Amino acid sequence: MPTSELPRKVGRNKTSRQQESTLILLFVGGNYAALETLLHRNGYTVVVPATADQAVALCPYNHIAATLVDRSSLAESDDWSLARSLKAVARNVPVLLIVSGEIADQQRLPPGVDLIVSEKNPLETLKAINQYRSQMGKRAG
């Protein structure tokens, strides 16, 4: 879908009395069906933008709980990455990098990435998102 066709707002209309949907942006090259299902079951709306531009464009207009990207989607060009672009428009949205295999104890975070999670354990990814949201809520309150 071309960027011009993306809705400016995903979820519920602000005039609705129902709570606005909490989004997870999933910008990945692989198949993460188990993670997507788990997020849906826990009340998140998962949006899978087709391009990095679409992912970035959704951030200013929606309540984004987290953005999940994998190594193939994080690709940098000229020392700039999707994670940095997301932080430029929504600095409080956590960016989680999904890696295959185990996470090295001393693995360095790429610029703009807040946390590294393993694709092997979707439940741990959900816990990390909820923990980060809880910490951000305490800072705001």
Give the model's confidence band at 139: pLDDT under 50 very low, under 70 low, under 90 confident, else very high.
low
Sign of the dihedral through C-alpha 54, 58, 60, 65 = negative
| Domain encompassing residue 95 | 21-140
> Would you say residue 33 lies in a domain?
yes
Q: Are 96 and 114 in contact (CB under 8 A)?
A: yes
User: Residue 90 is part of a domain; what is its CATH number?
Assistant: 3.40.50.2300
Phi, psi of 75 (to 5 degrees): -40, 130
Tens digit of each residue's pLDDT (9 = 90 or more) over 117-126: 988 889 999 9
Question: How is residue 102 annotated by DSSP?
Answer: P
> Would you say residue 120 lies in a domain?
yes
SS3 127: helix
Q: Say what the pTM is.
A: 0.78
Tens digit of each residue's pLDDT (9 = 90 or more) over 79-105: 668 888 899 998 888 999 998 877 776
